């Protein structure tokens, strides 16, 4: 059986591929190549004189204790956001899957937070947790808990983790729900007849059948926590207090945009890019083997 599509015209396939290739080159290959090039130069803010310095920017970044502190913050932040964004989403999806009456309305409400811009989400949470103007913040203070995320690094990190995870729950919920609905009833019913129902049935039958989507979401959520949480951090803590909420991404922004050190900032981007590529490869190499499609 011939499964390959054969085009009579030699140009047509390239033409059909062109939009995809152009988008990849313009929005990924070109900026990435530019970042690598900039990382090898030291220059003044205005770009009037640039010096080729080989890998000095990388050396400076890797010698900076604050960079490693940012790496440590990023590790805690990413793992916590991924866990807190996926576990409640799975729980909500399982619950929503069982709802009979008003299911559509219920699902719509859960999806709403995804439509909120990160900066707006951060401001909403600020009105809840700000020690001076937030209800929960004032409540915690009234209970004698010294709540002030502006001065307490651990509390600041907790807050940006909560907001970042909250924003991503909707997305995960949608995927989990769709995956749950694609599991044939006959399988869960057969399991129930064999005595595997409730929690036992979920962990033995349902969860393994969700593994492909769980794996996909794991990759997506890790990448989300690394790259897309900038808005939340910027609006809530600006990376502070001290450097308690400065993730690798925020550090790139601060050095590149605020401090206009393009060489150092590009070196950090290249390191982060390499790290994410490596991480994703590892996930596919080791985790994917345990996934059932």
Burial class (CB in 10 A: 0-12, 13-18, 19+), 108: exposed
Please check whether residue 235 is in contact with residue 118, taking contact to mean a CB–CB distance below 8 angstroms.
yes
Q: Which listed residue (88, 113, 153, 231) binds another protein by CB under 8 A? A: 153
Residues 36-55, interacting with another protein (CB under 8 A): 42-49, 51
Q: Which listed residue (145, 260, 274, 282) binds another protein by CB under 8 A? A: 260
> Is residue 75 within the footprint of another protein (CB under 8 A)?
no
- Smallest separation, CB 257 to another protein (Å): 6
Look at strands 41-43 and 50-52 and give their pairing. antiparallel
Question: For residues 148 and 228, which CB has a smaller minimum distance to another protein in the complex?
Answer: 148
- Smallest separation, CB 102 to another protein (Å): 43
Which residues make Cβ contacts (< 8 Å) with residue 114, sequence separation at least 6?
A: 167, 168, 170, 171, 174
Please check whether residue 289 is in contact with residue 228, taking contact to mean a CB–CB distance below 8 angstroms.
no
Residues 179-238, interacting with another protein (CB under 8 A): 238
Q: How many residues does the chain have?
A: 293
Angle ∠(209,210,216) on CA atoms, nearest 5: 135
Angle ∠(209,211,215) on CA atoms, nearest 5: 160
- Smallest separation, CB 53 to another protein (Å): 10
> Is residue 138 within the footprint of another protein (CB under 8 A)?
no
> Is residue 273 within the footprint of another protein (CB under 8 A)?
no
Q: What are residue 50's DSSP bridge partners?
A: 43
- Smallest separation, CB 168 to another protein (Å): 27
- Smallest separation, CB 236 to another protein (Å): 11
> Is residue 243 within the footprint of another protein (CB under 8 A)?
yes
| SS3 assignment for 75-136 | HHHHHHHHHHHHHHHHHHHHHHHHCCCCHHHHHHHHHHHHHCCHHHHHHHHHHHHCCCCCHH
Window of 105-113, 147-155, 206-214, 278-286 that interacts with another protein by CB under 8 A:
147-155
Please check whether residue 173 is in contact with residue 111, taking contact to mean a CB–CB distance below 8 angstroms.
yes
- Smallest separation, CB 47 to another protein (Å): 5
Question: For residues 172 and 251, which CB has a smaller minimum distance to another protein in the complex?
Answer: 251
Structure tokens at 11: 């140009």
> Is residue 151 within the footprint of another protein (CB under 8 A)?
yes
Residues 4-43, interacting with another protein (CB under 8 A): 42-43
Residues 118-137, interacting with another protein (CB under 8 A): 132
Contacting positions for another protein (CB under 8 A): 42-49, 51, 66, 132, 150-153, 238, 240-243, 254, 257-261
């Amino acid at each position: 059986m011939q499964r390959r599509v054969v085009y009579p015209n030699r140009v047509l396939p390239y033409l059909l591929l062109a939009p995809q290739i152009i988008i990849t080159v313009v929005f990924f290959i070109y900026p990435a190549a530019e970042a690598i090039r900039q990382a090898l130069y030291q220059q003044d803010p205005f770009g009037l004189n640039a010096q080729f310095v080989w890998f000095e920017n990388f050396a400076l970044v890797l010698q900076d204790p604050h960079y490693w502190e940012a790496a440590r913050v990023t590790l805690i932040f990413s793992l916590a956001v991924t866990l807190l964004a996926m576990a409640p989403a799975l729980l909500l999806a399982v619950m929503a899957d069982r709802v009979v009456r008003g299911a559509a309305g219920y699902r719509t409400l859960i999806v709403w937070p995804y439509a909120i811009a990160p900066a707006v989400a951060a401001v909403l949470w600020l009105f809840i947790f700000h020690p001076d103007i937030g209800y929960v913040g004032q409540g915690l203070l009234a209970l004698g808990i010294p709540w002030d995320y502006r001065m307490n690094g651990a509390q600041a990190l907790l807050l940006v983790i909560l907001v970042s995870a909250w924003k991503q729950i909707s997305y995960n919920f949608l995927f989990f729900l769709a995956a749950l609905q694609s599991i044939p009833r006959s399988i869960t019913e057969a399991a129930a007849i064999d005595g595997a129902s409730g929690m036992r049935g979920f962990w033995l039958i349902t969860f393994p059948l969700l593994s492909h989507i769980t794996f996909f979401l794991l990759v997506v959520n890790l990448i989300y926590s690394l790259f897309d949480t900038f808005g939340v951090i910027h609006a809530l803590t600006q990376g502070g207090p001290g450097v308690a909420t400065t993730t690798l991404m925020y550090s790139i922004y601060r050095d590149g945009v605020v401090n206009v050190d393009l060489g150092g900032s590009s070196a950090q981007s290249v390191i982060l890019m390499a790290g994410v590529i490596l991480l994703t490869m590892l996930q596919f190499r080791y985790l994917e083997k345990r996934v059932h499609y």
